[in-house]
Structures are given as C-alpha cells and as structure tokens.
Chain A
Amino acid sequence: MAYSRRDVLQGGGILLSCVVAGQSLWLTPRAAHAAQVPYRVLTADEVATVQGLAEALVPGAREAGIAQYLDKQLARAGEGDSLLMLKYLGVDPGDYVGFYRASLASAATAAQNRHGKPWPELNARQAAAVLAAMAADEVPDWSGPPASFAFFVLRADAADVVYGTTQGFERLGVPYMPHLAPAEPW
C-alpha cells in the first residue's frame, strides 16, 4: 500500500518510507514490523528490549516506531547530520551504536535479574520498578553508560517519536503550524 506525501501529512498515524521487495512503500511502524522490513543495526533482542522499555517510559512509543527510529539513525550514525538527541549530550558519534547496544543489554539483564522476564513480558508495575532503579543508578551489575543517563536518553528518544511528530502534536491538541512540514517524521 503506497501513500502520497499529502497522505503522510494528513494521515492519522506515523508512516515510514520503507523498501520491501525492492519496492518503496509508506508503512506504519507496525506494518513495517509485520512486513519484516529488516533492521540494519538493532538485533531482534535489542528491538524487543527497546520497544518494551520505551513503551514503559512513554506509552505509545512502540506503535510510534521507536525501534525503527533508532535503527535508522544508528545505521547512518557516522554520516553526520544525525537526528538523535544524543548528539547534544557529549557522546562521540562513533560510539552511538555502542551506547545503545550497551544500554539495552544492561536494561535487558536488569529485567531478567529482577523479574526473570524480558522487557516485552513485564507488566506495568514490574517495568516501573526497573525504570525507577535505572533513574536512580541503583541497578546491580549495570555496565555501559550510567543507567540514569541511558534512562534520560531513551526517554527523550521515546518522547521524540510519540510527541515530536505532526501526529504527536495533534494528540496534545497543539497546532503544528509548520513553515515546511517534514515529509517523514524522521
């Protein structure tokens, strides 16, 4: 199913430009996932972790495409013009992939150690307990970037995809008022 740019701007959901079987299509993040549009950097485990973690931080992040957003940006991390907020926060662009990889691995381990489950299977209370520990830098055996920093960055990323798009503004009742509307959310 293909969409015009006008559809993208007027549509009710976020649409991503994806290449499936050699065809360029506009797909929702969920459809892109169902169509098995390949991730270029994130592994299946990392996708599952980031979707579960980001959804717990900012409800709506999974559907808004947090995994596709991060994967797309990380795939071009060395090219400059990164759209990740991480570029403001003192992390070397050459370390972007490592930052997320280490953060997600530690977060996955924290969920397993605390509740014996991966992030997608945590209920709201269990997820909140791990997040609170991350925010307070109180996760045993955490490695990689400080847990509270990873928490801040992942929360901001999730807020980007949920609230930083035309649909996100609409959800809040905030008029978007673009001079030049983005053809794609990111």
Chain B
Amino acid sequence: MSPAPPIPATESVDLLVVGAGAAGSVVAASAARQGKQVLVLEAGPPRELSDLISSQIWARRLKWSGGPVEEDGNLKVGHNFNAGWGTGGSALHQYAVWPRLHAGDFKLHSNHGRGLDWPLSYDDLRPWYDKIQAEVGLSGDAAAEKWRPPGDAYPLPALPVFRQGEVIARGFAERGLGTAPIPLAITSQAFKGRPPCLFDGWCDAGCPIGALANPLVTYLAWARGAGAQVRNHATVARVLHDAAGRRVTGVVYFDEQGERHEVRARAVVLAAFAVQTARLLLASTSERYPAGLANRNDLVGRYLMTHPANSVYGLFLDETEPHFGPTGGQLICQDHYDDKSAVKGAFGSYQWLIANAMKPNDLVGIANTRPDIYGSELAPFMQRAARHMGNMVCVGEDIARPENRVTLTARRDRFGVPLALASHSVTAETDAMARQAVAEGLAIFKAAGATEAWAGPRFGMHIMGGTVMGEDPAHSVVDSYGRCHDLDNLYVAGSGVFASSGAVNPTFTIHALARRTAEHLLQAL
C-alpha cells in the first residue's frame, strides 16, 4: 500500500467525506488505503488525544457546538448531548458499547406491521460486523451472551466485572434473568499497539490512552496514515450536482474566517450524523431539486429515531465503587429482546446496560440523580452515594415514523444555511414498553438488595434515521449501500441510514455499514 498523492491546488479529489466521525473515518480509511485522494471536511475543531482531559466539565467541549438545533416532541432526541463536535465526532465521547442488532430488527414491518424493513438482513451484515471487530479489537464473552446473533467470537476477553456489577447482577439472578459482560470496543489486553483499559471511568471525557476505540486511534488514524487529509473548521453549506441532476460534483464549504470554498469530487459521502446530514441535503436546493437533494419523495429528514432510555438508580449496603469501570457499563442483559410484543399494549425490544461508571457531577453524574436533594442534605447523600450507588440504563426500541423528522427553520447559521428543527415523539406502545422496563428495573434493584431505588427521567439516547435505507426509492432515501437513489455518486454513511433503531447502541452497526458502503463505492471510483 502506498500513500495517496497530495491533493492538488485545484481542489479536486477522488472522494470527499463530510464529517470526521465514526462513519466518515471508516470510509476515508478504506478509500485512502486503495490510493484514492481523500479529503474529509469537518465543521468542528481539530482534536488530539492530548485534548481528552479527564474531567466531566472539560468533556463538554466534545459535544455539539455547531449551528443550534431546535427540538420538540414528547421525547426530544437530545442532539447536543448525543452529537460530537470536532475531529472524531460523537465517536470521540462514545461509551464503546458495541452489541449487534438482532435479525428481527431488520424485518420490523414484515414481522410486526410497524416501522420499516431494512433492504438487507442480519446475515448480509454479519461479515461486516465480524470484519470490524477483528480490526478494532472488541472485548467480550460471546458464549455468555445467549441472545447474541451468530458471529465470530470476540478477539479479546471480556473486561472484568467490578463491585457495582457484582451487586446488581444479584438482582438479575434473583429474577431469573441472565447477564453477560458488555461487548466493548475497549481493550482488555494490549491490541495493535493500544494499551489495555485502566478502568478509570472517564470514557465520556474521551480516552487519551486509546484503549477505547475512538477514531483518533482507529480508522481516522489509518486514513491519515494512508494519505487522507482532514480539514477542520470546514462547514459544508451545500452539495453540488451536474446539469442532469444524476451525479454530484462536489461541495461548497466555509472556513473559520467565513471564506467560501468549492471542492470537486468524483464521489461524496455525507457522514455528518443523522440531523446534520439531513439538514445538509434539505439545504442543498437547486432548480432541479427545489426541495433539496435526494428528496424527490419528501423523505429526507423523516423517520428520525432515538432510543427511549431510562436510568435506574439505587443505594446498597454494599460498597459499590461506582467510579470504577467503563462509563457504558459492565454487564448487559438482552433476555426477551426478541419478543417485541411480550407485554400487552406495549411494543419494542429493550436491553439493560448495567453498572455504568459514575462520576459525582454532570448530567448523568451522582448529584443529578436526585435533583430534589439540596442544601444541608446534599453532602450526606453525596458521601453515601459515592460509595454505595448502583445504576443501570434501559435502552428501548423506537419505531421509525414519518412524522418524526428533521426540517429546516427560518433561522440561519453564520454561513447562511438554515438551521434544523428535530421533532420527535414516541407512541403509546413505546411509552408502555419503557414504563414496563422501568418497573422491571426497580424490581431488579430491590431483588439485588437496594435500600432505596428510583428511576430518572426518560431521555433520548443516540440518534438514527432521517435518511433511511430501503429497496424502494418511493419509500427510502438511500439503498442498502447508502447510495442515494436519485444521485449515482452521493452516499450517506452513519446512523441516519438506519431503517429501524433496534434497542442496541448503534456505533458497531455504523462501522459495519460504513465498511460495506466503502467497499461498494470503491468499485466504481
């Protein structure tokens, strides 16, 4: 493999990628390794491992700080918390929980008459999951995950379970439920030059040692090593197309000083995360496409999804050492995942992520688990909770519905691009599923010996959809490879193409799909 030649001053490249997060990095690495000239435009600032300061306060720099996103609906997608800002995108502050979607998640409409079907099956995606986990180095115990779809065993053994995990696992066992180590994109042993995890619980602030597989130590590093360029503070304002409207020709972007630039490309991949990718397509209007690119059927922005999530907290007599271990948790339970209609009136899968590392402050820190405690009562609570708290989070399934969508507002960013409104609500069936899960969680904590147990408010975890994939151009934006139905060389990578949410963290699937997209587009590049 020889590094790609430098990009000439004419600013014409083989492949232009919008967004330096997980999906964009995977595509860029594949293309650069084949000697293609690759340019990645990233709206946020550069990030290096040395920027990943161990502090929940400083960690907020890694979250979205671009054009403001308005939100409404009965379950907001939580854009600013879920989205990243800068090189690495949200994958820089991801928790590295990497379970696979289940086979049934791909056939939701066929099997249940709800939501959408994917244009590919689990069996189609399985080889790409296997390929990614071998490249990244997942840690886990495949045999212990009795619910796991078929796949290669993990390349690394599971991370250890600490006191918090042991204590809460008692409750699952008491109620006849199984647990297994979470499959994590975190090294339990040295792997490809990356050191093993130290279990310090700072995943959310970014992992500067590279034990957690963020793009700076995986695909983006490999892309750069093969000659790909990353240009920061480069806000893409529109995608350009040819006169026939069948091919894109490049993009317009603005630099930090507000200067306009144009880059031509043989292919363009939009990997700017679900909301911003939809926003960019909608904003790329032309005479040929007055409603935006890839939007002939008014589908761009629709089917926006977020996992309805609830945390359950408890205080135990045991010492739980809640500050230890991965932020994403130590154990997972997907019992009953495949029975989406288990409870009358409710619908959807869910999983439990158990024993997440907790720090004292921040939105998901110890202090904010009980906002009703303040004044002189707070310090005793904090002292007790810092040693005896346990927690877990239920990740529930959302249903893709057309009314949940990204639209443009009348407001514009400093480059003149309309801002996004993300509207999202859950149905009564989803609400019932989430309520039932919370009740189960509280019962599990009581069974584990919690002296007090309570649930936090529901929140939107992860963002998916908005540019969904499908077989029929009348009902989807892209095909199974992420290629826009309307434009031969415009691709979308990332969670925006998901046709269903399942109830698992999306980052592994994002990587697998992006790897598949890259292999496909490179055949024609």
Question: Measuring CB to CB, which residues of chain A are less than 8 angstroms from any residue of chain B?
Answer: 56-60, 80-85, 87-90, 92-94, 124, 127-128, 131, 135, 151-152, 155-156, 159-160, 163-165, 168-169, 172-182, 185-186
Contact = CB atoms under 8 A, between A and B. Distances in A.
B54 A176 contact: yes
B61 A81 contact: yes
Given A135-B371, A182-B55, 15 more contacts: A57-B378, A87-B60, A88-B63, A88-B78, A88-B363, A156-B361, A159-B368, A160-B56, A163-B360, A163-B365, A168-B360, A173-B387, A176-B54, A180-B53, A185-B55
A164 B68 contact: no
Contacts of B376: 59, 124
13 contacts: A58-B367, A87-B64, A90-B76, A124-B375, A151-B371, A159-B367, A163-B360, A164-B361, A168-B360, A179-B207, A179-B209, A181-B53, A182-B53
Nearest to B81: A88
Given A82-B65, A135-B372, A169-B360, A88 B80 contact: yes
B379 interface: yes
A168 B371 CA distance: 18
CB-CB nearest 3 A-B residue pairs: A164-B361, A178-B54, A159-B367
B246 to A, nearest CB: 38
Contacts of A180: 50, 52-54, 208
B365 A164 contact: yes
Interface string B375-402: 1101100110011000000000000000
Given A90-B76, A163-B360, A179 B57 contact: no
A128 B378 CA distance: 13
Interface stretch (B4-12, B197-205, B300-308): B197-205
Contacts of A131: 374-375
B388 to A, nearest CB: 12
A63 B171 CA distance: 41
Interface in B347-378: 359-363, 365-368, 371-372, 374-376, 378
Interface of B: 45, 50, 52-58, 60-61, 63-66, 68, 71, 76, 78, 80-81, 85, 198, 200-202, 207-209, 323, 359-363, 365-368, 371-372, 374-376, 378-379, 382-383, 386-387
Nearest to A185: B57
Nearest to B385: A172
Given A135-B372, A172-B360, A179-B198, A92 B61 contact: no
Contacts of A92: 68
Contacts of B208: 179-180
B375 A164 contact: no
A61 B472 CA distance: 58
B80 A175 contact: no
A159 B207 contact: no
B258 to A, nearest CB: 15
Interface centre among B57, B208, B359, B378 (most CB of A within 10 A): B57
A25 B87 CA distance: 33
What is the predominant secondary structure among interface residues of chain B facing chain A? loop
B45 A81 contact: yes
A9 to B, nearest CB: 11
B361 A159 contact: yes
Contacts of A176: 54
Nearest to A163: B360
B201 A56 contact: no
Contacts of A186: 57-58
A56 B208 CA distance: 37
Contact of B80 (A87, A163, A179): A87
B382 A172 contact: yes
B362 A164 contact: yes
A152 B363 CA distance: 10
B12 to A, nearest CB: 30
Contacts of B365: 159, 163-164
A180 B50 CA distance: 8
A59 B57 contact: no
A174 B386 contact: yes
Contacts of A172: 360, 382-383, 386
Given A57-B374, A87-B80, A159 B52 contact: no
Contacts of A82: 60-61, 65
Given A156-B368, A172-B383, A90 B61 contact: no
Given A80-B85, A87-B80, A155-B371, A168 B361 contact: yes
A90 B460 CA distance: 13
A178 B379 CA distance: 23
A81 B63 CA distance: 8
B57 A83 contact: yes
B383 A179 contact: no
Contacts of A178: 53-55, 200, 202
A9 B351 CA distance: 40
Given A85-B362, A163-B360, A59 B76 contact: no
B361 A173 contact: no
Contacts of A93: 65, 68
Interface centre among B60, B65, B363, B386 (most CB of A within 10 A): B60
A159 to B, nearest CB: 4
Contacts of A151: 371
Nearest to A166: B55
Contacts of B52: 179-180
A60 B375 CA distance: 10
Nearest to A181: B54
B452 to A, nearest CB: 18
B275 to A, nearest CB: 13
Contacts of A84: 60
Given A59-B379, A175-B323, A178-B202, A163 B54 contact: no
A131 B371 CA distance: 12
Contacts of B209: 179
A116 B198 CA distance: 54
Contacts of A164: 55-57, 359-362, 365
B81 to A, nearest CB: 4
A90 B60 contact: no
Nearest to A184: B58
A12 to B, nearest CB: 17
B80 A90 contact: yes
B323 to A, nearest CB: 5
Nearest to A160: B361
B201 A177 contact: yes
